[in-house]
Amino acid sequence: KNREASLPVPVSRVSYTITTDKFDALYKKLKPKGVTMTALLCKAVAAALRNHPIINAACTPAGDGIIYNEHINIAVAVAMPDGGLITPVLKDADKTDIYQLSRNWADLVNRARGKSLAPDEYSTGTFTVSNLGMYGVDKFDAILPTGTGTIMAVGGSKPTVVATEDGKIGVERQMTVNITTDHRIIYGADAAEFLQSLKAVIENPDDLTM
């Protein structure tokens, strides 16, 4: 149903490569304290979205205007055991500390799989994340959910040989993210500027714990 509703919407896609060494190190440090990678990634997305309200916006149902959302609610696609997807929402992800965000996520996933989420816990996302990195997927495109302006597809982080600034060869962990946007309201330059901000947050992630 969502796929059919999305078909008439013109979309734009932008891909970006992000170095994750510091982000992965931060996750390794926080994991024993109950922090999940999903919550940490959503926190990074929310931090970047603060400066790009158009990426957190949606097109009006009639297609002739823009709805700017006051809250940053990150929906995350979760596969259900019996098939299909549901998108539990981490509400106000920019304002919630990473530890509470992780507890909220664990609770949402548990209740999602038990099919006990309230409608506003899976239908109020303003930005959607779909992560297939844990399956070994490098990169993919995701279908834009109805009523939102952007979805981000996240691939896995893997060691990559790179040329350093001083001309030497090094190895960095990198991941590729692809975002699909509603082209009626969000242009390629908007998406690229958001991804630049996201890259900056993930490559220098210390502020995510504040």
- The dihedrals phi and psi of 176, each to the nearest 5 degrees, come to -110, 130
Q: What token pair was written down for 116? A: 């006990």
- Beta-carbon contacts of residue 31 (< 8 Å; ≥ 6 apart): none
R_g of the chain computed on alpha carbons = 17
Q: Is 163 exposed, middle or buried (0-12, 13-18, 19+ CB in 10 A)?
A: exposed
Please check whether residue 55 is in contact with residue 195, taking contact to mean a CB–CB distance below 8 angstroms. no
Please check whether residue 55 is in contact with residue 150, taking contact to mean a CB–CB distance below 8 angstroms. yes
Q: Is 26 exposed, middle or buried (0-12, 13-18, 19+ CB in 10 A)?
A: buried
SS3 82: coil
Active site residue 52: no
Q: Is 165 exposed, middle or buried (0-12, 13-18, 19+ CB in 10 A)?
A: exposed
From 111, 139, 183, 199, the catalytic residue? 183
Q: Which residues are part of the catalytic machinery? A: 183
